[in-house]
Structure 1
Amino acid sequence: MRIGLLAFATLVATPALAEDLVFTLVNDSSYTIVEMNVSPVDEELWGENILTVDAVEPGMSGDVTIADGLDVCDYDLRFVADDGTEASKSQNLCEINTFTISD
């Protein structure tokens, strides 16, 4: 397992509480992302793969919605590439409108 091969950048937006969390995922890396898992930072286990497409190729972007009904903002995000590379990051999702993955 190689953690940290993907870098992350975020853009700030207006916080939103008690609503679905929606942001744009941008794959600015050289990796094809095949799985994205999220869980509140205090949870031990990853949630299910939330990608609604088979893969997010380099250069692609799309909206991600987390509609888990929770009143939290801080999530752990895990990305798995088609070669098995993994990367994870904690992020306050209420404060962003774009999440960018890069090498």
Structure 2
Amino acid sequence: MGVYVYMLRCADGSYYVGSATGDDLGPRVDQHNAGAHPGYTFTRRPVVLVWSEYFDRITDGIAAERQIKGWSRAKKEALLKSDWDKVSELSRRRAGRPKSS
């Protein structure tokens, strides 16, 4: 069994990134809209599924979810548009220096 990583657009225009196991994301989106679990989307309903990707390996999906959660709004919107040039551009460090270790 794998995992879906998904992005929801909330009523306030913000984005929520999450993950869910199973064959169908519909019930998970329905849970968000029903307020079944308190959390980020509870006060930002209704939500709309705007992006998802299926990962065969749960560890890969969790890594992708964590990565996307750390992205800027602009980078998330580039992902939604499949604008890979923009995603790449927004991935560059602003100072142009390698990350120190």
Shorter chain as normaliser: what TM range?
under 0.3
Structure with more of its chain in helix, by fraction: 2
**Bigger radius of gyration:** 2
Greater relative CO, 1 or 2 (CA 8 Å, sep 6+)? 1
User: How high is the TM-score relative to the length of structure 1?
Assistant: 0.26
